[in-house]
């Protein structure tokens, strides 16, 4: 699957109403040989900076999950897998931050999604399309390069 296909898959999932973390992880399932429905379930709580807490951007956490599925350490494997995963994850996060200026949902969107006022601001300013969709695209492209 090409970078454009991965990015388009993520954009399509996001447009269909899945959160940022779900979209990025799901877009990479085929080549990671990971069940797409399990990916959607496991990533659900990570959207909007983890359950609308505005912490690490869901597109980033979805990317970290994809990188971990590719490089992570499983039972009985050498600890060097952990170091490789940390290195790949750090590179991914650094590149995302270079492009968007932050890794934090709250900083990226400029409001608190945990409040009715923040949710209203988010909708009125079309931040789903203006900010979040580009973050999903960036994360999916960077994950594609990393894995």
Residue-wise DSSP of 63-87: HHHHHHHHH---TT--THHHHHHHH
- C-alpha count within 13 angstroms, C-beta hemisphere, residue 146: 31
Domain ranges of the chain: 3-146
Give phi and psi for 104, each to the nearest 5. Answer: -95, 125
Query: What's the pLDDT tens digit per position in 16-70?
Result: 999 999 999 999 999 899 999 999 999 999 999 999 999 999 999 999 999 999 9
Percent of the chain, pLDDT > 70? 98
């Amino acid at each position: 699957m090409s970078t454009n296909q991965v990015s388009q898959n993520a954009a399509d999932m996001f447009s269909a109403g899945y959160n940022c973390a779900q979209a990025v992880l799901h877009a990479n399932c085929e080549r990671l040989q990971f069940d797409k429905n399990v990916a959607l379930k496991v990533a659900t709580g990570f959207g909007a900076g983890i359950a609308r807490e505005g912490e690490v951007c869901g597109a980033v956490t979805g990317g970290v999950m994809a990188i971990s599925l590719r490089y992570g350490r499983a039972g009985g494997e050498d600890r060097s897998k952990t170091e490789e995963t940390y290195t790949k994850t750090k590179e991914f996060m650094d590149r995302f931050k270079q492009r968007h200026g932050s890794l934090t949902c709250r900083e990226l969107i400029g409001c608190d999604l945990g409040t009715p006022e923040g949710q209203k601001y988010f909708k009125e300013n079309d931040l789903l399309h203006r900010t979040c969709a580009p973050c999903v695209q960036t994360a999916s492209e960077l994950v594609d390069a990393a894995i």
